[in-house]
Structure 1
């Protein structure tokens, strides 16, 4: 049996008995006008509107569409709406479980449907970035010959994860994360519309706020939690979903945290100060509060990168690479798995030896520059790669350090105004103890009052 027949059967069951299908499925948009968020893609005359023949200009003519964005923001929904709006079969595959064999079977089915019934096919391929280059290559004939309208979804940058021939033949649409207002409107519709909960229960503001926090911008998660909480409330005979019922249902306590208010900055400050104080358990507590409140993982990762330089520096030179790697991983995977990466980085930073010497060094140097101590660059350090530089004395007398035993030449580098000032004052903590020994030897050799082997 063709996959679209299963879809039709499911839709028929949904119409006869709405309760037989999940709320998230029942609330799936049927037209582009019902799509939540993505206003930049839905304005009149947009490529997506033209793709479905909506508005001036007719269909966009694209044989392939790539939807790029985080989970739970409507990639599958958009593909389904396009198929409905263009009256095409809708076949869905996941790159996690499907391979070239399954793709070829769908393409062959699409060719038969087009030839025998005049029915074109939309092939929705979820997580296309999980396909190898060879697997993606297998899609090209179907795209080039328009045997299917391919709509592929990815959570990773398609310029890195999708082959160039496929990307060049595709309309790339970048989906934005859903806002709280987007989800709030979706919840209101789900509570009131007949295909949803049909006004069976209400959702007070405190429960709604908690539901938005735990949803984390994911529409499916929001509707799934709402459906479970509504069922629990109705089982108790309650006319509304209380915060207590919602907490009990989703097994997650409400977190006092306002992502746009004081709590946002207070908890973020407490996280960094706990890391600075080497209290790993307190740091993990504040990290957990931020995660549970639906904080943007990229914001947390940025704070950790700053902490690595501000509070650790050269006491542990691996701290910053760890924080940067965590930020890159978070950007690629998102929640919920990003919580593991953030925990990894937080623990590493909290337990690392601490030094603010790098912070104090640049602050002291900046203070001098702001005070006007920015004298001329010494002549022997100036650029000598142009005609006439030698006549001006530029680059004359410069000693090339690699030509000097030990690799350190006794010459002046700083302007006269700050010559001799020492901005970097290393601590004796962790790996920075080595730098404390090295810097004194280096400074001595630069002054010309030290001999012997160069510091290593």
Structure 2
């Protein structure tokens, strides 16, 4: 008897079970609102492999009670579209899930257009390629584009733990270190993570040890050299070498990963993270160069595009370092969670109606360019957070130049606040 793969057996049955795409599935977010209103409109899901595109398409069609027909643009053509259109006419409408929509050429996409426009077909497209370049503007204008993110390690861990506890899952016990190892090596791909977990369970006879996880990962494409080093060790070494300003080590680990078969675009994403997390505002150009390197690789491919990644690694390793933005953002998130309903000062509020104006919304706002002194005397934070300090500039690079300005600005706000109270 054939048993479905683990990824299929534990596929989410509701939107709440989907892991890692809360910006689309959470309360008040686009896909959640469609289900709540039971009004499904055409959209395209753009994201890397294993990010949940097929799962979301199925859940959206099921959630609004519409029948869905799935096609893959790899082997479908205009004839298949005509057959789906005939079915839709007989049934009064259908949801068409078109995987790899970027594989359709212009004429094939044009064949969809009138039926999407009339509402006969509700299109859900899925693609790993940028729709701006691969989907016709006319079709794109009739279908919202939603970006799916690769799963971070925390989300991947939740996915693995759910698979272990799922009624149709593995019903196995796993060492925490084994799950961490798989989550790190999966590179944001849920399907890859679940496949590795299933293999590790079979190797460990239901007990998933760290050794079983390493063996499972080593038997696939995630073993990166003959000496037994694994992906998560290498990406950690690359990140720490960049953070520690050791350019030669950083280049070595980058080359070792590329030579071992790592996805260069995944490495570009990780390097962009280093640019914002570890270089940060000490050198704001780091993020610009990171995005340029990603685009250069996307444009050139291998091997020419790899030089852009090498150039980026050199730049990041030699750049001044600051994690002030990273720390400030964590502080801001904590403040928002601790004080989610703090009242916004009236002068800062929007006042689009006469009633709001009568209630004092926007009254007394000091426009900085007309009234700098009044602007500094103005209250910006809610009463409960009036003395909140989230960001501290370091003495590195660009932040060294603005640290005194930040100090002076905060002093002016403090003086202005005292003047207003007196």
TM over 0.5: yes
1:182-261 superposed matches below 5 A: 182-198=155-171, 201-234=172-205, 238=207, 240=209, 242=211, 243-250=213-220, 252=223, 253-255=228-230
CA contact (8 A) 1:257 1:293 kept: no
Does 1:81 find its partner at 2:56?
A: no
User: Partner of 2:61: helix, strand, or coil?
Assistant: helix
> In 2, are the aligned partners of 1:68 and 1:174 still within 8 Å (CA)?
yes
Paired position in structure 1 for 2:38: 59
Q: Distance in 2 between matches of 1:232 and 1:293?
A: 30
Say which SS state the counterpart of residue 204 (structure 2) adopts: helix
- Is 1:154 the counterpart of 2:127? The answer is yes
- With over 3 angstroms needed to count, the CA separation of the structure-2 counterparts of 1:233 and 1:61, relative to structure 1, is closer
1:134 corresponds to 2:110: no
| Alignment partner of 1:297 is 2:257 | no
- Alignment partner of 1:159: what SS? helix
1:186-229 CA deviation, whole Å, 9 max, x = no partner? Answer: 0001011111112xx22223322221222100001111111111
Partner of 1:177: 150
- Check conservation: 2:44, 2:144, Cα contact below 8 A: yes
Residue 177 of structure 1 aligns to a residue in which SS? Answer: coil
Residues 228/160 of structure 1: CA separation in 2 closer, same or farther (3 Å cut): same
2:82 alignment partner, one of 78, 83, 104 = 104
> Does the alignment pair 1:22 with 2:5?
yes
- Paired with 2:173 and 2:299, the residues of 1 have a C-alpha distance of 37
Which of the numbers 68, 76, 81 marks the counterpart of 1:90? 68
Structure 1 residues 74 and 332: CA distance shift in structure 2, 3 A = farther
Alignment of 1:291-370 (within 5 A): 291=262, 296-300=267-271, 327-328=294-295, 330-331=297-298, 343=306
CA contact 1:37–1:178 (8 Å) conserved in 2: yes
- Whole-Å separation in 2 of the counterparts to 1:257 and 1:212: 9
Tell me the distance in 1 between the aligned counterparts of 2:299 and 2:151.
Answer: 18
Match of 1:35 in 2: 18
Residue 293 of structure 1: how far off its partner (Å): 12
Which whole-Å deviations, capped at 9, do the CAs of 1:426-448 have from their partners, x for residues lacking one?
xxxxxxxxxxxxxxxxxxxxxxx
1:71 aligns with 2:54: no
* Native 8 Å contact 2:296 2:305 kept in 1: no
- Give the alignment's Cα RMSD to 1 decimal: 4.0
Q: What is the CA-CA distance between 1:128 and the residue it aligns to?
A: 1.4
Task: Give the TM-score taking structure 1 as reference length.
Answer: 0.55
Q: Please state if 1:273 is matched with 2:252.
A: no
Rounded to whole Å, the distance in 2 between the matches of 1:171 and 1:282 is: 39
Consecutive unaligned residues in structure 1, runs of 5 or more: 1-16, 305-322, 360-456
In 2: Cα distance, 1:241 partner to 1:257 partner = 13
Aligned in 2, Cα 1:282/1:169: closer, same or farther, shift over 3 Å?
closer
Question: 1: CA distance between counterparts of 2:246 and 2:258?
Answer: 6
Structure 1 residues 111 and 189: CA distance shift in structure 2, 3 A: same
Which is greater in Rg?
1
- Correspondence for 1:416: none
Q: Matches of 2:303 and 2:115 in 1, distance apart?
A: 40
Q: CA deviation at 1:111?
A: 2.1
Per-residue deviation at 1:98?
1.4
